Amino acid sequence: DFVRRHLLAEEQHLRLFDIAIPFFGRSMLLVAWRAAGWVLGCVPALVGNRALFLTIDAVETFVEDHYGNQIVRLKQGEGGPHLDAKSNEDLIGLLGACCEEEIYHRDDARTRWNEDHVPAASAPYDWNPMDQVWVWLVLAASASAAWVAKKI
């Protein structure tokens, strides 16, 4: 149920962004990003809940920050020549709504992680070194992909 709901929400976000952002305003590597996102969701799900929840936490933490930065840029008028003022406002609203859903996904993954892996008296996270390496890799890959998307 968790994976299905998460996947449906992400597919809805993609549809909304496809509508909101003109074709010539999108990343040239959109197909590659979608494939990478699918793999990043599928592989941890096959490994198990621990990997899945860690991955979702890392990705959604990155996305929250990324959407926040995009909202700030749009509010400062840095939306680019392909967006008029109304489109800019609509995109800010869409990013804000999607960001709230991403935060919910992250918090849901954290709650499920805590229910499955953390004793009640323990800290919210009890990551072992491999967990920390995985989260770092996911965050670094996400940041690298965003950087590349800005350049291409």
Give the tens place of pLDDT for each residue, 121-148.
444 556 778 888 998 999 999 999 888 8
- Total Cβ atoms within 10 A of residue 138: 20
Please tell me the predicted confidence (pLDDT) of residue 141. 92
- Total Cβ atoms within 10 A of residue 90: 14
Which of 3-12, 16-25, 132-141 comes out lowest in average pLDDT? Answer: 16-25
CB-based contact 56:10 (threshold 8 Å): no
